[in-house]
Homo-oligomer: A and B are copies of this chain.
Amino acid sequence: MTAINFAVIGYGGMGSYHIHNIMPNENERIHVVGTYDHSEERQAISSQHNHKIYSSLEDILQDQTIEAVLIATPNDSHKELAIQALKAGKHVVCEKPVTMNVAELDEVLKVAKETGLTFMVHQNRRWDPDFLITRELYKNQQIGELFQIESRVQGANGIPGDWRHELKHGGGMLLDWGVHLLDQLLFLVDSRIVKVSADLSYILGDEVDDGFIAYIIFENGSRAIIEVGTTNYIKLPRWYLKGTKGTGVIHDWDLSGELVIESDKQAIQAPEPIQAGVGLTKTMAPPSEEATETKKLSNVSAEYDPFYKNFYKVVREQAEPVVKNEEVRKVMILIEEIFEAAKKLK
């Protein structure tokens, strides 16, 4: 096994997370040679880790020992960097969002095709345990067929960092967490999208969205609500899943949550009315105890390889990538549709 020699372009939050937290899991397959970052402070930190410090992109591209690059720079630079790296004969791992839009992505994919090199986007949240539980529920139908999938991430900290506040760099939350949630959704649901409604929020007064809500209808009739918020001091559940036989909730990344599953259809339909505010309601009364059973969530492992193990196999063994470029492209199309749909509500 010969490890793939990597140079990392951008040693900020994500670049350093790859180097120090993800790549070491595959240390027989992935070897970090060095980094390139314009910040002298970051260069200093990187050199303490015995990384070679490249002084320009050109330096990396001319280094024949480098087989692959990781692009972990602001979003508006991905396209140019990817194209140059591919043209210089390097395989590429690219942070999300892959590019600013579909047109840019198509330019990259054209060069990837011409060069025959691997271009793979780090859609790492396909390995999130909460997503894997959801995916398993989708498949095993423990709560029946999922017909409504609500996926939310909410925080109260506003838009992070510096360039994420700026349009020209591809800032905003739709191009940040939005990419993850939409990628998970399309990886999950086995049906074509037929309608998209969306609203972007600008609560914080930035030129980019500080969150959004998208309502997506699939050809098979199922619905998804995808929401990102950065002005939420209390979180709604990370996942809220409606199935034909029950409901599932995953509250947070701690995987707390439960399934409530119908066990007696007859009992479900004849609950005792409850006092609700100043009125009675039978409709909104909880099902009687015999009518449902509550189950714990069970942890699930991915049946596909971890990202860098897969990347290695794609490069060395012509394996199929877990994150396929045509999937990434569909997510970018959906993001453009969401931006477009949101204009209708302006």
**A203 CA / B222 CA spacing, docked (Å):** 10
**A258 CA / B283 CA spacing, docked (Å):** 26
How many chain A residues touch B (Cβ–Cβ < 8 Å)?
74
A9 interfacial contact with B, CB 8 Å: no
**A308 CA / B247 CA spacing, docked (Å):** 40
Stretch of A45-53, A71-79, A154-162, A325-333 on the interface side:
A154-162
**A163 CA / B311 CA spacing, docked (Å):** 59
Contacts A233-B262, A262-B156; is A177 near B284 (CB within 8 Å)? yes
Give the distance to chain B from A143, nearest Cβ to Cβ, in Å. Answer: 8
Give the distance to chain B from A324, nearest Cβ to Cβ, in Å. Answer: 19
**A292 CA / B253 CA spacing, docked (Å):** 21
State the main secondary structure of chain A at its contact with B.
mixed
Determine which of B17, B213, B273 lies in contact with A279 in the assembled complex, contact meaning CB atoms within 8 Å. Answer: B17
- Residue on B nearest A143 in the bound complex, by CB: B233
Give the distance to chain B from A275, nearest Cβ to Cβ, in Å. Answer: 7
Copies of this chain held together in the complex: 2
Determine which of B158, B199, B269, B280 lies in contact with A13 in the assembled complex, contact meaning CB atoms within 8 Å. Answer: B280
Interface string of A85-97 (1 = CB under 8 A from B): 0000000000000
* Contact, CB under 8 Å: A278 / B155: no
Chain B residues, Cβ within 8 Å of A223: 199
* Contact, CB under 8 Å: A157 / B282: yes
* Contact, CB under 8 Å: A232 / B247: yes
Interface residues of A in 201-248 (CB under 8 A from B): 203, 213, 215, 217, 223, 225, 229-234, 236-237, 240, 242, 244, 246-248
Contacts A199-B223, A234-B247; is A287 near B156 (CB within 8 Å)? yes
* Contact, CB under 8 Å: B147 / A203: yes
12 residue pairs from A and B, CB less than 8 Å apart: A17-B280, A127-B278, A129-B277, A129-B278, A155-B284, A156-B262, A157-B282, A199-B223, A217-B345, A230-B283, A232-B242, A234-B258
Chain A interface (Cβ < 8 Å from any Cβ of B): 13, 17, 21-22, 124-125, 127-131, 143, 147, 153-160, 173, 176-177, 195, 197, 199, 203, 213, 215, 217, 223, 225, 229-234, 236-237, 240, 242, 244, 246-249, 253, 258, 260-262, 268-269, 271, 273-287, 291-292, 345
